[in-house]
Amino acid sequence: MITLHHLRIGRSMFTVWLLEEAGAEYDLKVYLRDPETMRSQADIKAIHPLGKSPIIEDGDLMLTESGAITSYILEKYDTEYKLHPSRDDLSQWATYNQWLAYPEGSVFSPLLLKMLTLRGGSDHPVITPFSDAEIKLHYDHITNKLANNEYILGDQFSGADFGICYVVSMGERLGQLAAYPKLQAYMKRCMSRPAFLRAVEKAVE
């Protein structure tokens, strides 16, 4: 059985959702952040030295990084390819993997910069205009890719949507979605899925 080490208030909530969508059996271990610094604490660092989550264990395998975990879970449990493409169509498979890597490879960094400047309570003369421009660039791109589709790769939900929904929801928390009603609707559509609601019930106490 898979064990998911889940650090509250963060990315790994979307891995709980992934496991629910995949129909996997899993053991959920929940960790809390330091209330003053909002950083991870010694308990999860005892599992992995970086103290980041998600972390999964499956037998002797310990795996970090959300994209890698998504690929592993779906390769193991989505044997009918409902949530990810097979390699039989290499072009479709490559496009899917591009969107799987895109959220944390490209979108997350400017959102992180925005979060840090907001926590600091004032704009930064270099970082703020950079992060604002990059967030707009990426959210325009995601909006254009969605077009009139339900999900990022069309009208069928896929593994790529976990990461895209994560960076969209992060923007919502940072007050960046006012000009993006299509992204707001996409986020609500994703978060109304039964598997997401089950994940929230299990992971948010």
Q: What is the CATH number of the domain that holds 54?
A: 3.40.30.10
Residues 97 and 185 in one domain: yes
Residues 182 and 153 in one domain: yes
Q: Per-residue pLDDT averaged across 177-200, rounded?
A: 98
Nearest-5° Cα angle at 81, 77 to 82 = 95
DSSP-assigned states of every residue in the chain: -EEEEEESSSTTHHHHHHHHHHT--EEEEEE---TTT----HHHHTTSTT--S-EEEETTEEEESHHHHHHHHHHHH-TT-SSS--TTSHHHHHHHHHHHHHIIIIIHHHHHHHHHHHHHTS--TTHHHHHHHHHHHHHHHHHHHHTT-SBTTBSS--THHHHHHHHHHHHHHTT--TT-HHHHHHHHHHHTSHHHHHHHHHH--
- Condensed to tens digits (0 to 9), the pLDDT of residues 145-155 reads 999 999 999 99
Residues 176 and 125 in one domain: yes
Is 3 in contact with 26 (CB distance < 8 Å)?
yes
**Residue 78's domain spans which residues?**
2-83+195-203
Residues 36 and 54 in one domain: yes
The enclosing domain of 175 has a CATH number of: 1.20.1050.10
pLDDT in the model for residue 32: 87
Q: Per-residue pLDDT averaged across 47-74, rounded?
A: 95
pLDDT in the model for residue 36: 83
pTM of the model: 0.95
CA–CA distance, 166 with 174 (Å, rounded to integer): 12
Helix axes 160-173, 66-77, angle to 10 degrees: 140
Q: Per-residue pLDDT averaged across 156-163, rounded?
A: 98
Residues 75 and 116 in one domain: no
Residues 106 and 186 in one domain: yes
Q: Is the pLDDT of residue 172 over 90?
A: yes
- Condensed to tens digits (0 to 9), the pLDDT of residues 17-38 reads 999 999 999 999 999 888 888 8
The 26-31 sheet, strands edge to edge: 26-31, 2-7, 55-58, 61-64
